[in-house]
Amino acid sequence: MTHAPLMADQTLFRDPDLFEITHLPEVFQYRDAQLEALAFALRPALYGARPLNSVLCGLPGTGKTTAVRRIFAEIEETTSRVVPVLVSCQVEKTLFAVLSKIFRALFGYPPPVSGVSNTRMLAAIAEGLARKEAVLVVCLDDANWLLSNRMLDTVLSPLLRMHEAWPAVRTGVFLTFSSPGANYSLALDRATISVLQATEVFFPPYTAGEVRSILADRVRAGLYPGVIPSEVLDLVVERTLACADLRVGLDLVRRAALAAETAGRRSVTVEDVLAGSAASAHLHLAMTVQALQDSERLVLEAVVAEGLMGARVISGRVYRRVCEEGPMSYTVFHEQLKRLEALQLVEVFVWPGRGREILVREGVEEVVCGDVPLR
């Protein structure tokens, strides 16, 4: 049976917002244990006590930020005695920026853009919390962006120690990290670590069955029936698993459906998925590279620069190139290289007698060199 072509004013999307990375799903699948852990950490705040601090760890696209947004939304619907604040550390990278975000969430309007010190801002927040008898919970999302220059300690210390100057104030923090093996404790003073005492909540990669179930539910809700045939969805799942990032699958469905719609077709083809795969994979790579620590980014840039020379990329030459930018022990260099491999940005092969050869994953060079936009 031949279907009539799609008209110019028709669409394949019931709700295109369901495929945006920032969409908060009504049903958050396969993260019940993690949500329960976060709810347990927040439970004391409901009674005016200090919540438990938590560190959320896992690869990009495993649901960390969505879990926080979900639990914070439930808190906001339940009580006004808890002030949850989600801070994107990719955007707010200084103590003043973080305090400004908290100030706005607490009072409903922004603070003055100049002429206000961090000390005065902190005092205003503390006094506002005391007046409202409210507990502050701050999530520093992608906290790895604050690891350089000890900024994480600069931000955490005053938040965790607010009760010392204002005994009635109770605060708690969530930290999310997307870089495997990121040792945040090395960036913190011992005094800060002793106050933090965080519980780790791990977010494992989604399995093949979980990815297919999540994407199928989103397709049913966001597209009209028959737009994504079963065999096409199988290909989307395969490409998503290759990147180990659910956001790639959501973006790929969106791109493929847009391609079919633009061509006036009523269903997505394998060719639509294949055409959109490179762009969606680059989206994943760009977000992964953006989340790297400074030292990891330095090593990756050195690997790419060495590869542009046209010869085999040997770890010894990469290490010497890194040291030209600043001192780094070979032990630290090797750890950073292992993290890049865990993030699937590079592959490392050990050749007896010839050292380690490093291969850059397809698309990484373009992202590092700035040839691929994030969206």
Whole-number pLDDT of residue 374: 42
Whole-number pLDDT of residue 1: 44
Residue 14 included in any domain: no
d(CA 6, CA 261): 7
Q: Which two tokens stand for residue 240?
A: 């998503």
Domain-ending residue, one of 261, 289, 317: 289
Q: Are residues 94 and 122 in the same domain?
A: yes
Q: Are residues 119 and 257 in the same domain?
A: no
From first to last of its 375 residues, the chain has per-residue pLDDT tens of 445 666 555 899 999 999 998 899 988 999 999 999 999 999 999 999 999 999 999 988 899 999 999 999 999 999 999 999 999 998 898 999 999 999 999 999 999 877 889 999 999 999 999 999 999 999 999 998 888 778 999 999 999 999 999 999 999 999 999 876 667 887 899 999 999 999 999 999 999 999 999 999 999 999 999 999 999 999 999 999 988 889 999 999 999 999 999 999 999 999 999 998 878 777 778 878 887 878 888 999 999 998 888 778 889 999 999 999 888 998 889 888 988 887 778 888 887 766 788 988 878 888 888 755 444
Residue 152 included in any domain: yes
Residue 20 included in any domain: no
Q: Are residues 88 and 110 in the same domain?
A: yes
Residue 174 included in any domain: yes
- Picking from 365, 196, 209, the residue whose alpha carbon sits closest to that of residue 289 is 365
Whole-number pLDDT of residue 181: 61
Q: Are residues 236 and 324 in the same domain?
A: no
Q: Are residues 56 and 178 in the same domain?
A: yes
Contact by Cβ (8 Å): 54, 37: yes
Residue 7 included in any domain: no
d(CA 29, CA 124): 39
Residue 12 included in any domain: no
Question: In this structure, what are the phi and psi dihedrals at residue 239, rounded to the nearest 5 degrees?
Answer: -70, -35
Q: Are residues 275 and 299 in the same domain?
A: no
What domain range includes position 341? 293-368
Whole-number pLDDT of residue 375: 43
DSSP secondary structure, 178-205, as one string: -STT--GGGGS-HHHHHHH-PEEEE-PP
Q: Are residues 39 and 161 in the same domain?
A: yes
* Number of domains forming the structure of the chain: 3
Q: Is 200 exposed, middle or buried (0-12, 13-18, 19+ CB in 10 A)?
A: exposed
For residue 192, the one-letter residue type is T
Q: Are residues 37 and 108 in the same domain?
A: yes
Q: Are residues 297 and 255 in the same domain?
A: no
Q: Are residues 219 and 326 in the same domain?
A: no
Taking CB atoms within 8 Å and a gap of at least 24, the contacts of 124-132 are 125/99, 125/162, 126/162, 126/165, 126/166, 126/169, 127/166, 129/83, 129/166, 129/169, 129/170, 129/171, 130/166, 130/168, 130/169, 132/80, 132/81, 132/83, 132/106
Q: Are residues 60 and 106 in the same domain?
A: yes
Whole-number pLDDT of residue 3: 57
Q: Which residues pair with 314 in a beta bridge?
A: 357
Q: Which two tokens stand for residue 275?
A: 């055409």
**H or E stretch covering 170:** strand 170-177
Domain-ending residue, one of 260, 289, 318: 289
For residue 67, the one-letter residue type is A
Residue 326 belongs to a domain with what CATH number?
Answer: 1.10.10.10
Residue 249 belongs to a domain with what CATH number?
Answer: 1.10.8.60
d(CA 91, CA 70): 21
